[in-house]
């Protein structure tokens, strides 16, 4: 892992989407070794994100762009130039990568299997019983090493979409920090990030039974409904859900309808693995409606928001932005 050329090749392959699972784990280990390693990787990813939508650039132009940008970051990174051509070739071919630079990371610990997904990524896993789980950015799924079709219990933090293999005799149970969900076979979404004010469960089809912490009995949530818990007051409601918006993330889309500005910022930070700073109360009174796909970079999203709301933004530090309230001038 100390071989600089090997690491450079590994990063180039990851940006091209050509890494094997073993290579991805090695790259993640190198990134975690130091802050300098992490910044070096993110610097190249940052450049990639800003250029991958430029479909009209030639390979030579993109190579030159990479060379100039990398020289700005540091004069010592000239080895990257030879790998920029490989990256540019992928762009010229009309291909692009998603935010899934790193797939899930699997860890075995104290009788459990743990799958984690870093910020800016999504991933999926198929369990031993055939259940499919899609995990959103910054999420973790944990279950016993003895998990089987006869013993189906998992623990979730973050957000996950579950397509549960039907089995009437052996319920599938999702234990979240605030509640647990019991099903026999259905499709539903659980969102339970620790820094969210609310946690929720939305049902796409079938039926789920849900029990809050401290309660003895389960209650039912029906298709098209959403259970929403206020973590501060511990009060909950069951309401009609916009299932398309609730589940869009698993297909690489971000749909929001009348979402408060603080919630929007929180989601964008997870989605793009960036920090968005803002201050003052003016922006908190705004709500936003929009639809984006993974193909949009954070710059494109912020530019789009500028067109429909009184904001501007500037890049302050590496992968960090400041959003500024900019009221419209009256003519």
Output the domain CATH number for residue 116.
2.60.120.1440
Do 316 and 194 share a structural domain?
Answer: no
**Torsion region of 131: left, alpha or beta (phi above 0 gives left; psi -120 to 50 gives alpha):** beta
- Those residues whose C-beta lies under 8 Å from the C-beta of residue 32, and which sit 6 or more positions away, are 38
Helix (H) or strand (E) holding 116: strand 112-116
Looking at the structure of the chain, the number of domains it has is 3
Do 278 and 241 share a structural domain?
Answer: no
Do 301 and 260 share a structural domain?
Answer: yes
Do 288 and 241 share a structural domain?
Answer: no
The pair phi, psi for residue 92, each rounded to 5°, is -60, -35
pLDDT of residue 59: 44
Do 81 and 116 share a structural domain?
Answer: no
Q: Which of 246, 270, 286 is the last residue of a domain?
A: 246
Do 301 and 279 share a structural domain?
Answer: yes
Task: Return the residue matching tokens 């030579």.
Answer: 60
From the list 75, 22, 73, the residue with the least C-alpha distance to 48 is: 73
Do 193 and 164 share a structural domain?
Answer: yes
Do 74 and 11 share a structural domain?
Answer: yes
Q: Which of 246, 262, 290 is the last residue of a domain?
A: 246
Within 10 angstroms of residue 156's Cβ, the number of other Cβ atoms is 23
| CATH number of 318's domain | 3.55.50.30
Q: Which of 33, 67, 92 is the last residue of a domain?
A: 92
Q: What is the SS3 assignment for 297?
A: coil
Q: Is residue 331 part of a domain?
A: no
**What is the residue range of 223's domain?**
105-246
Q: Is residue 65 part of a domain?
A: yes
Burial (CB < 10 A; 0-12, 13-18, 19+), residue 176, is: buried
Do 263 and 234 share a structural domain?
Answer: no
Residue-wise pLDDT tens for the chain (331 aa)?
Answer: 447 777 877 777 676 666 676 777 788 888 878 878 877 777 777 666 555 444 444 444 444 434 444 444 444 444 443 444 433 333 332 222 233 334 455 556 678 899 999 888 889 999 999 999 999 999 999 999 889 999 999 999 999 999 999 999 999 999 999 999 999 999 999 999 999 999 999 999 999 999 999 888 999 999 999 999 999 999 999 999 999 999 999 998 888 888 888 999 999 999 888 999 998 778 888 888 888 876 678 888 888 888 778 889 998 887 899 999 887 655 4
- Indicate the pairing of strand 275-277 with strand 320-325: parallel
Give the integer Cα–Cα distance in Å for 22 and 258: 42
pLDDT of residue 93: 27
Do 264 and 145 share a structural domain?
Answer: no
Do 258 and 240 share a structural domain?
Answer: no
Give the integer Cα–Cα distance in Å for 149 and 160: 20
Q: Are 23 and 103 in contact (CB under 8 A)?
A: no
């Amino acid at each position: 892992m100390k071989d600089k050329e090997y690491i450079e090749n590994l990063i180039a392959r990851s940006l091209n989407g050509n890494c094997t699972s073993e290579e991805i784990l090695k790259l993640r280990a190198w990134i975690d070794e130091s802050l300098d390693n992490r910044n070096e990787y993110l610097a190249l990813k940052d450049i990639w994100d800003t250029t991958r939508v430029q479909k009209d650039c030639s390979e030579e132009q993109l190579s030159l762009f990479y060379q100039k940008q990398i020289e700005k970051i540091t004069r010592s990174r000239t080895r990257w130039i030879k790998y920029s051509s490989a990256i540019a070739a992928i762009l010229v071919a009309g291909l692009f990568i998603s935010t899934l630079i790193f797939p899930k990371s699997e860890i075995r610990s104290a009788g459990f299997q743990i799958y984690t997904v870093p910020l800016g990524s999504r991933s999926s896993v198929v369990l031993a019983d055939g259940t499919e789980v899609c995990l959103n950015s910054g999420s973790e799924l944990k279950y016993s090493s003895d998990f089987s079709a006869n013993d189906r219990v998992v623990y979730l933090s973050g957000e996950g979409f579950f397509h549960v293999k039907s089995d009437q005799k052996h319920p599938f149970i999702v234990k979240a920090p605030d509640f647990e969900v019991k099903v026999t076979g259905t499709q539903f979404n659980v969102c339970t990030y620790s820094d969210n004010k609310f946690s929720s469960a939305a049902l796409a089809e079938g039926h789920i039974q849900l029990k809050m912490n401290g309660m003895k009995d389960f209650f039912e949530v029906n298709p098209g409904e959403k259970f929403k818990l206020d973590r501060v007051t511990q009060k909950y409601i069951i309401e009609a859900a916009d299932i398309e918006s609730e589940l869009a993330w698993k297909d690489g889309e971000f749909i929001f309808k009348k979402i408060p500005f603080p919630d929007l910022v929180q989601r964008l930070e997870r989605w793009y693995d960036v920090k968005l700073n803002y201050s003052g109360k003016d922006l908190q009174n705004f709500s936003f409606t929009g639809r984006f796909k993974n193909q949009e970079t954070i710059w494109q999203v912020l530019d789009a928001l500028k067109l429909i709301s009184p904001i501007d933004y500037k890049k302050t530090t590496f992968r960090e932005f400041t959003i500024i309230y900019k009221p419209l001038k009256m003519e």
